């Protein structure tokens, strides 16, 4: 693998007494689509702003192409950012907005115009080149903002929740535009978002942050199937978390007793000790339902509380006798075979290998 493009080396950021970023140690690889995700106030935007030079790290080093960036002024960096607020210049036309960075870099007028128009065309908004920013729609502004950053032909593009102001249907469209652009240009995208669907839909790797620290780094699939700890599991959602006491540990599996019953889980790098507390998760889409009690295996009897439809997928919300909530995600046509209604008792079951033991932290 080639050398990392960006290295965060023990980076901390304090605002007075408030610690926004506790300690960050990670690398960004050249050409990857990296999403940084977390709840608001987790330090994800601060991390991005440090990369752009808009905040200076209190401790540690940020290196770009091996060069220490801590003291490089924002305007001397080549790290264009797409802002949550878009931050388009309202007194300029769409084309003048796109030209702005080139103008600052001293590119001559004719070339500026030519490159700006080329990018506006690429983003499909050439016809709005001479329009005032205030007359454009949300999606068009979004494209101007992207063109304004990409016209700089950067090695790395930073995006700070760029889709948060758009309507849901536009978000899906822009996600496709962004992933296509990233593949085509081959440049590195660092995408900050609080939206799991955006991060998982687009990113090659995801960093989950919580309270100024990295909770987990991995591919969307890793994070979804094997959340490192309870924080990630809860943040990712759409899964069932069970906590209890370790009953017995064998070579490949362990038995955990929870208020909802006793279950078998596969062992992983998490050390399980008999008598200690332990938690594990099962993705909602890996849980099966049945009307009759299954023979053996991991099972729990639950009462159906409600259903939530998202397109052809449906999520069932259930409760066992102890009041513990379970979620099951399945295809709608799969569900229709069962003819269920609220209050029905059904059995849940899952393969041992579907469970994933969490780190206690």
Partner 1 sequence: MNTNRTLNVILGIYVALIFAFVFAPIIFSMIFSFNSQRFPTIPLGNFTTEWYAKILADPDVWEAALNSLIVSVSTAVIATFLGFCTAYSDFRYNFRFKGPYLALILLPPTIPLIIMALAMLAWFSKIGMSGQIYSIVIAHSVLTAPFAMAVIRLRLNQMDPDLESAAWNLGGSEWATMRHVIIPFCKPAILSGLFLTAAVSFDEFAVSWFVSGLNKTLPVIILEIVQGNIDPQVNAIGTFVFLISMTLVVLAQVFFASRQMKSMKS
**Under the rule (CB under 8 A), what is the footprint of partner 1?**
52-54, 73-77, 79-81, 83-85, 87, 89-92, 100-101, 103-105, 133-134, 148-149, 152
Nearer to partner 1, 43 or 101 (CB): 101
Q: How far apart are CA 339 and CA 46, in angstroms?
A: 49
What is the closest distance, in whole angstroms, from the C-beta atom of residue 88 to partner 1 in the complex?
A: 8
Nearer to partner 1, 140 or 264 (CB): 140
CA distances from 220 to 36, 37, 153, 187 (A): 11, 11, 28, 20
What is the closest distance, in whole angstroms, from the C-beta atom of residue 83 to partner 1 in the complex?
A: 5
Nearer to partner 1, 154 or 212 (CB): 154
Nearer to partner 1, 86 or 117 (CB): 86
Nearer to partner 1, 19 or 52 (CB): 52
Is residue 138 within 8 Å of 116, Cβ to Cβ? no
CA distances from 189 to 32, 33, 82, 222, 249 (A): 6, 5, 11, 20, 43
What is the closest distance, in whole angstroms, from the C-beta atom of residue 106 to partner 1 in the complex?
A: 9
What is the closest distance, in whole angstroms, from the C-beta atom of residue 17 to partner 1 in the complex?
A: 16
Nearer to partner 1, 152 or 223 (CB): 152
What is the closest distance, in whole angstroms, from the C-beta atom of residue 160 to partner 1 in the complex?
A: 9
Nearer to partner 1, 149 or 260 (CB): 149
Nearer to partner 1, 90 or 323 (CB): 90
Q: How far apart are CA 115 and CA 102, in angstroms?
A: 9
Angle at 315 between CA 314 and CA 319, to 5 degrees: 145
Q: How far apart are CA 242 and CA 234, in angstroms?
A: 11
Q: How far apart are CA 199 and CA 197, in angstroms?
A: 6
What is the closest distance, in whole angstroms, from the C-beta atom of residue 136 to partner 1 in the complex?
A: 10
**322 burial via Cβ count (<10 Å: 0-12, 13-18, 19+):** exposed
What is the closest distance, in whole angstroms, from the C-beta atom of residue 209 to partner 1 in the complex?
A: 21
What is the closest distance, in whole angstroms, from the C-beta atom of residue 152 to partner 1 in the complex?
A: 7
């Amino acid at each position: 693998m080639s050398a990392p493009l960006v290295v965060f080396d023990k980076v901390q950021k304090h605002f007075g007494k408030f610690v926004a970023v506790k300690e960050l140690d990670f690398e960004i690889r050249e050409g990857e689509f990296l999403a940084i995700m977390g709840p608001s106030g987790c330090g994800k935007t601060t991390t991005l702003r440090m990369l752009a030079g808009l905040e200076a790290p209190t401790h540690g080093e940020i290196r770009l192409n091996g060069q220490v960036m801590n003291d490089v002024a924002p305007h001397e960096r080549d790290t264009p950012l797409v802002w949550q607020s878009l931050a388009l210049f309202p007194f300029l036309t769409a084309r003048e907005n796109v030209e702005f960075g080139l103008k600052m870099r001293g590119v001559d007028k004719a070339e500026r115009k030519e490159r700006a128009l080329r990018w506006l065309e690429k983003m499909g908004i050439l016809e709005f080149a001479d329009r005032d920013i205030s007359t454009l729609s949300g999606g068009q502004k979004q494209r101007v903002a992207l063109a304004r950053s990409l016209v700089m032909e950067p090695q790395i593009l930073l995006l700070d929740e760029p889709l948060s102001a758009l309507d849901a249907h536009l978000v899906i469209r822009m996600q496709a535009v962004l992933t296509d652009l990233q593949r085509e240009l081959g440049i590195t995208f660092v995408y900050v978002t609080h939206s799991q669907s955006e991060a998982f839909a687009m990113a090659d790797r995801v960093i989950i942050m919580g309270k100024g620290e990295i909770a987990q780094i991995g591919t969307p699939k890793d994070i979804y199937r094997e959340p490192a700890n309870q924080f990630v599991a809860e943040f990712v959602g759409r899964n069932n978390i069970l906590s209890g006491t370790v009953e017995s540990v064998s070579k490949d599996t362990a038995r955990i007793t929870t208020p909802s019953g006793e279950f078998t889980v596969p062992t992983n790098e998490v050390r399980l000790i008999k008598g200690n507390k332990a938690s594990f998760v099962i993705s909602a889409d890996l849980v099966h339902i049945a009307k009759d009690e299954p023979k053996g295996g991991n099972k729990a009897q639950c009462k159906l509380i409600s259903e939530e439809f998202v397109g052809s997928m449906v999520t069932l919300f259930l409760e066992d006798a102890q009041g513990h909530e379970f979620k099951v995600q399945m295809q709608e046509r799969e569900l229709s075979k069962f003819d269920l209604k609220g209050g029905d008792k059904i059995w849940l079951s899952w393969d041992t290998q579907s469970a994933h033991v969490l780190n206690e932290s």
